Chain A
Amino acid sequence: MGDPLGMAISHAIASGMGGMRAAGDLVARMQMTRGMKIDQAKAYVADKLSIAVSDLTDPVIMTEIRQDLEIGSMYPLPGRFALPRSWVLTSTASDG
């Protein structure tokens, strides 16, 4: 029990890293896969992304990084991952 505004949202705003708005999911993965404590996990992710630890919770900086590296974004990126046009033309030609 516990409603989402009182529990999940309150903790996310008071203490959370912001999930996919920032780098919360990436830091969580390092705890889960390597058993890293929070400071070590943050330092590891920041190093891999070549940014400062303080940038990990910044949604503006992290949105750009996530889009550049194609590691998941909050909003769809229409057309970004469409098949190359040459693939489609080749397929059409062979069908004909």
Chain B
Amino acid sequence: MEKIMTRMGDGFPVEMSESEIRSDLAAGTEDAADRGKIAPLSKEELQYLYDLFASPYRFVSVEPGNEIVLSYDGGALKIVRAAVNVDRVQAMQIHEKILGADTIELGHVDYSFKPVKPIVGTEQTALEQTLMVTHAPLFYGAMPNLGLYSQPDGPHPNPLDLLPLGKIDEARESYEMSVEDAVKDIVFVASAMYDSGADGINMDTTGAAGDPDFLAGLKAAEILKEKYPDICIELGMAGEFILGLHGELDYHGDRLAGMYPQDQVKMAEKAGFTIFGPVVNIKTSRSVPWNLSRAITFTKACCEVANIPIHANMGMGVGGVPMTPHPPLDIVSRASKAMVEICRLDGL
């Protein structure tokens, strides 16, 4: 039987038979449906995915009319990290004029709100310089990154040191104090950048430190929305599942630990976010057909209940894109097309 070339979740090429691909597509959607208590993909959607993987073309695209807009996390930094000798303002121009970017995003190299606070004036200057030479909507992006608020990087006792000692109440108290500090930093930095002319704030990789991290993002957005009713805030998540590192935190009565994207987006709406970016992580030991089917199942469920635009995260290692610094075009294009067309996305 003819083999089809596809890839594993770490990007390595692999040849699979038709039955193996169909089996992985079915298993991927079932895994998401079981974990998220959501509907699996239909037979027609699985057939669409099979045809996509069986397609002989090196690069595929959405059909005309199905195009969406793109937003970025750490966009400018990816050029700087590649050791191309341009500064961030020039990187924004490259995104706008050369990479076909619909939006652009400025961020500090540390990409977290806390370290930006003492240098916010420098960031405002960079943002204002960028606005002078670009047209596209400009986000300022950073992460809540709650890990920076516990020792040795921050003021509060490290919960991950306290938990093994059985000091659960102390660990929870530390998380709660970290949330309050993070909210102040996010509001301070986001306000400064918005006052300087940012078209939007991108709160990225939210939930990386579990439910306290997610709560900090929600509380900060609520304050910002009250302060600036017209502000655009995009919420990008860190993973498909909110880890219960505290375990008992809630947002207006809804327990955050254990939430999947279709629940997370409702919290985002309640907090006042303008755009929501769900994340579904890659399992590197499984095939891309398995991963993409699983990612689309979660994302589709999120899109179906959302009242705000959805920009699914499809960077390296999420959304069906392999975990490799050089994502292969054959898989990125297939993942991009399938995610947009099955989920009816508003953006990526």
How many chain A residues touch B (CB < 8 A): the figure is: 40
CB distance A19 to B96 under 8 Å?
yes
CB distance A37 to B100 under 8 Å?
no
Identify A57's interface contact among B60, B64, B101, B345, CB under 8 A. Answer: B64
Most buried by A among B81, B96, B308, B309: B309
The total of interchain contacts (Cβ-Cβ below 8 angstroms) comes to 171
Identify B199's interface contact among A27, A29, A37, CB under 8 A. Answer: A29
For residue A17, CB closer than 8 A to chain B, the reply is yes
CB distance B327 to A72 under 8 Å?
no
Cα-based distance from A9 to B64 in the complex (angstroms): 18
Identify B136's interface contact among A10, A28, A41, CB under 8 A. Answer: A28
Identify A31's interface contact among B100, B135, B309, B332, CB under 8 A. Answer: B309
CB distance A15 to B309 under 8 Å?
no
CB neighbours of A24 from chain B (8 A): 67, 69-70, 100-102, 136
Chain B proximity of A79: nearest CB distance (Å): 19
Chain B proximity of A27: nearest CB distance (Å): 5
Chain B proximity of A29: nearest CB distance (Å): 5
CB neighbours of A5 from chain B (8 A): 329
Q: 1/0 per position for B37-72, CB-CB distance to A under 8 A?
A: 000000000000000000000011110111111111
A10 to chain B: closest residue by CB: B332
Identify A16's interface contact among B70, B79, B274, CB under 8 A. Answer: B70
Cα-based distance from A12 to B274 in the complex (angstroms): 22
Most buried by A among B200, B274, B275, B346: B346
For residue A50, CB closer than 8 A to chain B, the reply is no
Main secondary structure of the interface of B (DSSP, over half): loop
A74 to chain B: closest residue by CB: B97
CB distance B333 to A14 under 8 Å?
yes
Cα-based distance from A28 to B340 in the complex (angstroms): 16
For residue B166, CB closer than 8 A to chain A, the reply is no
CB distance B100 to A10 under 8 Å?
no
For residue B137, CB closer than 8 A to chain A, the reply is yes
CB distance B69 to A38 under 8 Å?
yes
How many chain B residues touch A (CB < 8 A): the figure is: 55
Chain B proximity of A92: nearest CB distance (Å): 28
Q: 1/0 per position for B263-300, CB-CB distance to A under 8 A?
A: 00000000000110000000000000000000000000
Q: 1/0 per position for A1-20, CB-CB distance to B under 8 A?
A: 11111111111111111111
CB distance A28 to B59 under 8 Å?
no
Most buried by A among B79, B100, B326, B336: B100
CB distance A12 to B99 under 8 Å?
yes
CB neighbours of A16 from chain B (8 A): 67-70, 100-102, 348
CB neighbours of A28 from chain B (8 A): 69-71, 102-103, 136-137, 347
B336 to chain A: closest residue by CB: A14
Interface residues of B in 297-348 (CB under 8 A from A): 308-309, 314-316, 321, 325-329, 332-333, 336-337, 340, 345-348
User: Would you list 27 pairs from A and B whose C-beta atoms are within 8 A, ordered by A residue?
Assistant: A2-B315, A2-B325, A2-B326, A4-B82, A6-B332, A7-B315, A8-B75, A10-B329, A10-B333, A10-B336, A13-B100, A14-B333, A15-B67, A16-B70, A19-B99, A20-B135, A24-B67, A24-B102, A24-B136, A25-B103, A25-B135, A27-B102, A28-B71, A28-B102, A28-B347, A29-B137, A41-B309
Closest 8 CB pairs of A and B: A24-B102, A2-B316, A72-B135, A6-B327, A12-B100, A32-B232, A14-B336, A38-B346
Tell me the A residues contacting B by CB distance below 8 Å. 1-21, 24-25, 27-29, 31-33, 35-38, 41, 53-54, 57, 71-72, 74
